[in-house]
Protein backbone atom coordinates (compact mmCIF):
# COMPACT_ATOMS: atom_id res chain seq x y z
CA UNK A 1 0.00 0.00 0.00
CA UNK A 2 1.29 3.47 -0.86
CA UNK A 3 1.50 6.44 1.49
CA UNK A 4 -1.72 7.96 0.12
CA UNK A 5 -3.61 4.70 0.57
CA UNK A 6 -2.23 4.33 4.12
CA UNK A 7 -3.34 7.86 4.98
CA UNK A 8 -6.81 7.22 3.52
CA UNK A 9 -7.15 3.95 5.44
CA UNK A 10 -6.14 5.71 8.68
CA UNK A 11 -8.68 8.52 8.09
CA UNK A 12 -11.41 5.96 7.38
CA UNK A 13 -10.49 3.93 10.49
CA UNK A 14 -10.45 7.06 12.69
CA UNK A 15 -13.82 8.24 11.36
CA UNK A 16 -15.35 4.78 11.74
CA UNK A 17 -14.21 4.80 15.37
CA UNK A 18 -15.90 8.17 15.99
CA UNK A 19 -19.03 7.54 13.88
CA UNK A 20 -20.61 4.09 14.07
CA UNK A 21 -22.88 4.95 11.12
CA UNK A 22 -19.83 5.54 8.93
CA UNK A 23 -18.46 2.16 9.99
CA UNK A 24 -21.74 0.57 8.90
CA UNK A 25 -21.46 2.20 5.47
CA UNK A 26 -17.85 1.03 5.10
CA UNK A 27 -18.86 -2.49 6.06
CA UNK A 28 -21.64 -2.49 3.45
CA UNK A 29 -19.21 -1.31 0.78
CA UNK A 30 -16.64 -3.96 1.71
CA UNK A 31 -19.31 -6.67 1.63
CA UNK A 32 -20.71 -5.55 -1.74
CA UNK A 33 -19.82 -7.41 -4.91
CA UNK A 34 -16.98 -5.63 -6.66
CA UNK A 35 -18.64 -5.21 -10.04
CA UNK A 36 -17.76 -1.56 -10.42
CA UNK A 37 -17.79 1.79 -8.70
CA UNK A 38 -21.39 2.53 -9.71
CA UNK A 39 -22.63 -0.46 -7.68
CA UNK A 40 -20.49 0.60 -4.69
CA UNK A 41 -21.99 4.08 -4.90
CA UNK A 42 -25.51 2.61 -4.81
CA UNK A 43 -24.60 0.37 -1.86
CA UNK A 44 -23.16 3.31 0.07
CA UNK A 45 -26.14 5.55 -0.73
CA UNK A 46 -28.60 2.86 0.31
CA UNK A 47 -26.76 2.28 3.57
CA UNK A 48 -26.52 6.00 4.37
CA UNK A 49 -30.25 6.35 3.67
CA UNK A 50 -31.05 3.38 5.93
CA UNK A 51 -28.96 4.86 8.74
CA UNK A 52 -30.72 8.23 8.38
CA UNK A 53 -34.14 6.56 8.46
CA UNK A 54 -33.28 4.60 11.60
CA UNK A 55 -31.94 7.76 13.25
CA UNK A 56 -35.07 9.75 12.32
CA UNK A 57 -37.28 6.98 13.70
CA UNK A 58 -35.27 6.80 16.93
CA UNK A 59 -35.45 10.59 17.38
CA UNK A 60 -39.18 10.53 16.66
CA UNK A 61 -39.85 7.79 19.19
CA UNK A 62 -37.75 9.53 21.86
CA UNK A 63 -39.73 12.78 21.57
CA UNK A 64 -43.19 11.25 21.01
CA UNK A 65 -45.83 10.01 23.39
CA UNK A 66 -47.14 6.43 23.41
CA UNK A 67 -50.86 5.85 23.03
CA UNK A 68 -51.44 5.28 26.75
CA UNK A 69 -49.91 8.63 27.65
CA UNK A 70 -51.94 10.48 25.01
CA UNK A 71 -55.04 8.68 26.29
CA UNK A 72 -54.26 9.76 29.87
CA UNK A 73 -53.48 13.38 28.93
CA UNK A 74 -56.66 13.70 26.89
CA UNK A 75 -58.76 11.96 29.54
CA UNK A 76 -60.00 9.39 27.04
CA UNK A 77 -61.67 6.21 28.24
CA UNK A 78 -59.84 3.93 25.82
CA UNK A 79 -56.78 3.66 23.64
CA UNK A 80 -59.14 3.03 20.74
CA UNK A 81 -60.53 6.56 21.07
CA UNK A 82 -57.01 7.93 20.48
CA UNK A 83 -56.63 5.75 17.40
CA UNK A 84 -59.99 7.00 16.10
CA UNK A 85 -58.60 10.55 16.22
CA UNK A 86 -55.63 9.34 14.20
CA UNK A 87 -57.77 7.46 11.65
CA UNK A 88 -59.87 10.61 11.14
CA UNK A 89 -56.77 12.73 10.49
CA UNK A 90 -57.23 14.71 13.70
CA UNK A 91 -53.98 13.48 15.24
CA UNK A 92 -50.67 12.36 13.71
CA UNK A 93 -49.18 9.09 14.85
CA UNK A 94 -46.87 6.35 13.70
CA UNK A 95 -47.00 2.67 14.56
CA UNK A 96 -43.59 1.22 15.34
CA UNK A 97 -43.64 -2.47 16.12
CA UNK A 98 -46.67 -3.08 18.36
CA UNK A 99 -46.88 0.49 19.68
CA UNK A 100 -48.13 3.76 18.26
CA UNK A 101 -46.39 7.04 19.03
CA UNK A 102 -47.76 10.56 18.69
CA UNK A 103 -45.71 13.77 18.41
CA UNK A 104 -46.00 15.56 21.74
CA UNK A 105 -46.33 19.03 20.15
CA UNK A 106 -49.91 18.11 19.13
CA UNK A 107 -51.04 18.42 22.74
CA UNK A 108 -51.24 21.46 24.92
CA UNK A 109 -52.05 20.91 28.55
CA UNK A 110 -54.73 18.24 28.77
CA UNK A 111 -56.12 18.73 25.27
CA UNK A 112 -55.29 18.80 21.60
CA UNK A 113 -53.82 22.13 20.51
CA UNK A 114 -56.53 24.58 19.51
CA UNK A 115 -54.71 25.22 16.24
CA UNK A 116 -54.03 21.54 15.51
CA UNK A 117 -56.46 21.23 12.56
CA UNK A 118 -54.79 24.21 10.84
CA UNK A 119 -51.35 22.87 11.72
CA UNK A 120 -52.08 19.38 10.38
CA UNK A 121 -53.51 20.92 7.20
CA UNK A 122 -50.29 22.89 6.62
CA UNK A 123 -48.12 19.84 7.33
CA UNK A 124 -50.21 17.64 5.00
CA UNK A 125 -49.09 19.77 2.04
CA UNK A 126 -45.56 18.59 2.82
CA UNK A 127 -46.08 15.00 3.94
CA UNK A 128 -48.63 12.68 5.52
CA UNK A 129 -45.86 10.83 7.37
CA UNK A 130 -45.79 11.51 11.12
CA UNK A 131 -41.99 11.15 11.33
CA UNK A 132 -41.41 13.67 8.52
CA UNK A 133 -43.96 16.09 10.01
CA UNK A 134 -42.36 15.76 13.43
CA UNK A 135 -38.92 16.53 11.98
CA UNK A 136 -40.33 19.65 10.31
CA UNK A 137 -41.94 20.77 13.56
CA UNK A 138 -38.91 20.12 15.78
CA UNK A 139 -36.14 21.33 13.46
CA UNK A 140 -34.40 24.39 14.90
CA UNK A 141 -34.53 27.30 12.43
CA UNK A 142 -32.45 30.43 12.05
CA UNK A 143 -35.58 32.37 11.04
CA UNK A 144 -36.98 31.61 14.49
CA UNK A 145 -33.81 32.52 16.41
CA UNK A 146 -32.84 28.88 16.81
CA UNK A 147 -36.27 27.70 17.90
CA UNK A 148 -38.42 25.03 16.30
CA UNK A 149 -41.81 25.62 14.70
CA UNK A 150 -43.41 23.80 17.62
CA UNK A 151 -41.78 26.19 20.09
CA UNK A 152 -42.36 29.32 18.01
CA UNK A 153 -46.09 28.70 17.55
CA UNK A 154 -46.50 29.09 21.31
CA UNK A 155 -44.69 32.44 21.37
CA UNK A 156 -46.76 35.43 20.22
CA UNK A 157 -43.62 37.24 19.04
CA UNK A 158 -42.67 34.40 16.66
CA UNK A 159 -45.98 32.72 15.83
CA UNK A 160 -46.61 34.74 12.63
CA UNK A 161 -43.19 33.79 11.25
CA UNK A 162 -43.79 30.15 12.17
CA UNK A 163 -47.16 30.16 10.36
CA UNK A 164 -45.52 31.75 7.30
CA UNK A 165 -42.91 28.98 7.27
CA UNK A 166 -45.63 26.36 7.62
CA UNK A 167 -47.55 28.00 4.79
CA UNK A 168 -44.54 27.59 2.51
CA UNK A 169 -44.34 23.82 3.07
CA UNK A 170 -44.73 21.69 -0.02
CA UNK A 171 -44.46 24.63 -2.37
CA UNK A 172 -41.14 23.44 -3.79
CA UNK A 173 -38.00 25.47 -3.81
85 closest CA partner among 113, 109, 125 = 113
The whole-angstrom separation of Cα 63 and Cα 110 is 18
> Dihedrals φ, ψ of 25, to 5°?
-65, -45
Rounded CA separation 163/160 (Å): 5
Asked whether 109 and 98 are in contact (CB, 8 A), the reply is no
Q: pLDDT by residue (tens digit) across 50-59?
A: 788 888 899 9
Q: What is the pLDDT of residue 9?
A: 67
Q: What is the pTM of this model?
A: 0.73
pLDDT of 1 > 60? The answer is no
Query: What pLDDT is recorded for position 150?
Result: 96
Strands 147-148 and 64-66: unpaired
Q: Give 9-48 pLDDT, tens digit per residue.
A: 677 677 767 777 666 666 666 666 666 556 666 666 777 7
Q: Where are the domains of the chain?
A: 3-61, 62-167
Q: Looking at residue 18, what is its pLDDT?
A: 78
pLDDT band, very low/low/confident/very high, at 4 (cuts 50, 70, 90): low
What are the tens digits of pLDDT across the range 57-97? 999 999 999 999 999 999 999 999 999 999 999 999 999 99
Whether 173 shows a pLDDT value over 60: the answer reads no
Q: Quick one: three-class SS letters along 124-168?
A: HCCCCCHHHHHHHHHCEEHHHCCEEHHHHCCCHHHHHHHHHHHHC
Residue 169 confidence (pLDDT) above 60: yes
| pLDDT tens digit sequence for 125-163 | 989 899 999 999 999 999 999 999 999 999 999 999 999
> What are phi and psi for residue 72, nearest 5 degrees?
-65, -45
Report the greatest alpha carbon distance in the chain: 69
Closest CA to 71 of 111, 116, 120, 114: 111
Question: CB neighbours (10 Å) of residue 38?
Answer: 8
Amino acid sequence: MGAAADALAKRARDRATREPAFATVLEAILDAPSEGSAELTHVAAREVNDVRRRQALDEFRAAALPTAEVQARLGRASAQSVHVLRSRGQLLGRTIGNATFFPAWQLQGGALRDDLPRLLDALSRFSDDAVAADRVMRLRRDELDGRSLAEALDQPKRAATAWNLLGALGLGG
